[in-house]
């Protein structure tokens, strides 16, 4: 989507803030003993309170209001009976729609006290998100984003989950263009003002391979290695990108 005027901008900012506040609210309720289904219900209630609908349900009939992934689950984890435990790495991805506008955000956290390697993984993945955002400037090639993210992955000796990437958003949950988290030479088309997309690096401590579970949704690492993801929805705005999903106290 390309923003055409104030109506688009305001609509995107509304749903972006709802997504960001929902994610923050859910992360604040993460604690040992809670199930991923209970967390999802907290998110669902928050979205409903603000008049928003789950994007994955609306677009794909996904079996949950949000995606909640634990440990070896890298993405698209279905909320259910799984119990969150001390030291787990949890990722929550919130995408929603309101009045025809779609937003998308996500973040990872460690539950209580965890492994120092996992803490460093999360810290570096978060840095990579902002390294990519800093390249989201009008006239710059798309592949500058992937180059910046990949540079930090190499520095930290992480694998990038290459099957997962950022994407256009705004009128639907997944639109063009694709925003890879690594450098692809031919992806040098320039970014234009008003273009809306997500940046969402996925760093992994293992082989960087994911497979789809039998449930048809959950993406997990066969070697049970830990991954991290952080995501914002971005609007290109000259050399000052607008982060519509960034909220006070959030990531």
What domains, with CATH codes, occur in the chain?
6-243 (3.90.230.10)
**Per-residue confidence (pLDDT) for residue 187, from 0 to 100:** 97
Continuous H helices in 134-203: 143-156
**Per-residue confidence (pLDDT) for residue 8, from 0 to 100:** 98
List, for residues 114-161, the tens digit of each pLDDT value. Answer: 999 999 999 999 999 999 999 999 999 999 999 999 999 999 999 999
**Per-residue confidence (pLDDT) for residue 134, from 0 to 100:** 98
In 3D space, the residue among 215, 235, 189 whose CA is nearest the CA of residue 67 turns out to be 215
**Per-residue confidence (pLDDT) for residue 78, from 0 to 100:** 98
List, for residues 187-216, the tens digit of each pLDDT value. Answer: 999 999 999 999 999 999 999 999 999 999
CA 30, 37, 162, 188 torsion: positive or negative? negative
List, for residues 5-42, the tens digit of each pLDDT value. Answer: 999 999 999 999 999 999 999 999 999 999 999 999 99
How does strand 232-235 pair with strand 73-75?
unpaired
Dist. CA 29–CA 147, nearest whole Å: 35
Partners of 228 in beta bridges:
203
**Per-residue confidence (pLDDT) for residue 196, from 0 to 100:** 98
**Per-residue confidence (pLDDT) for residue 85, from 0 to 100:** 98
How does strand 67-70 pair with strand 89-98?
antiparallel
Residue 59 CB: number of other CB atoms within 10 A? 14
Partners of 95 in beta bridges:
104
Dist. CA 26–CA 21, nearest whole Å: 9
- Helix, strand, or coil (residue 138): coil
Q: To the nearest whole percent, how much of the chain has pLDDT over 70?
A: 100
In 3D space, the residue among 198, 248, 228, 244 whose CA is nearest the CA of residue 118 turns out to be 228
**Per-residue confidence (pLDDT) for residue 91, from 0 to 100:** 98
- Record the pTM: 0.97
Dist. CA 79–CA 68, nearest whole Å: 6
Joined tokens for residue 87? 């030291």
In 3D space, the residue among 93, 114, 122, 209 whose CA is nearest the CA of residue 160 turns out to be 209
How far is the CA of 240 from the CAs of 138, 139, 155, 234, 243, in angstroms? 9, 12, 26, 10, 9
pLDDT band at 93 (very low <50, low <70, confident <90, very high): very high
């Amino acid at each position: 989507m390309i923003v055409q005027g104030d109506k688009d901008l305001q609509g995107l900012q509304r749903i972006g803030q709802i997504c960001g506040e929902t994610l923050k609210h859910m992360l604040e309720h993460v604690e040992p003993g809670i199930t991923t289904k209970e967390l999802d219900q907290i998110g669902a209630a928050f979205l409903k309170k603000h008049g928003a609908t789950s994007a994955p349900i609306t677009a794909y009939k996904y079996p949950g209001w949000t995606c909640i992934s634990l440990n070896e689950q890298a993405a698209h984890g279905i909320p259910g009976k799984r119990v969150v435990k001390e030291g787990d790495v949890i990722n929550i991805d919130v995408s929603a729609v309101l009045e025809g506008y779609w937003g998308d955000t996500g973040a990872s956290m460690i539950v209580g006290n965890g492994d120092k390697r996992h803490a460093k993984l999360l810290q570096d993945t978060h840095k990579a998100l902002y390294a990519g955002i800093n390249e989201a400037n009008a006239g710059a090639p798309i592949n500058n984003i992937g180059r910046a993210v990949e540079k930090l992955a190499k520095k930290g000796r992480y694998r990038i989950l290459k099957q997962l990437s950022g994407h256009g958003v705004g009128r639907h949950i997944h639109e063009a263009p694709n925003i890879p988290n690594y450098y692809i030479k031919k992806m040098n088309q320039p970014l234009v003002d008003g273009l809306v997309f997500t940046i969402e690096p996925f760093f992994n401590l293992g082989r960087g391979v994911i497979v789809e579970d039998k449930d048809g949704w959950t993406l997990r690492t066969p070697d049970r290695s830990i991954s991290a993801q952080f995501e914002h929805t971005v609007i290109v705005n000259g050399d000052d990108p607008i982060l519509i999903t960034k909220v006070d106290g959030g990531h």
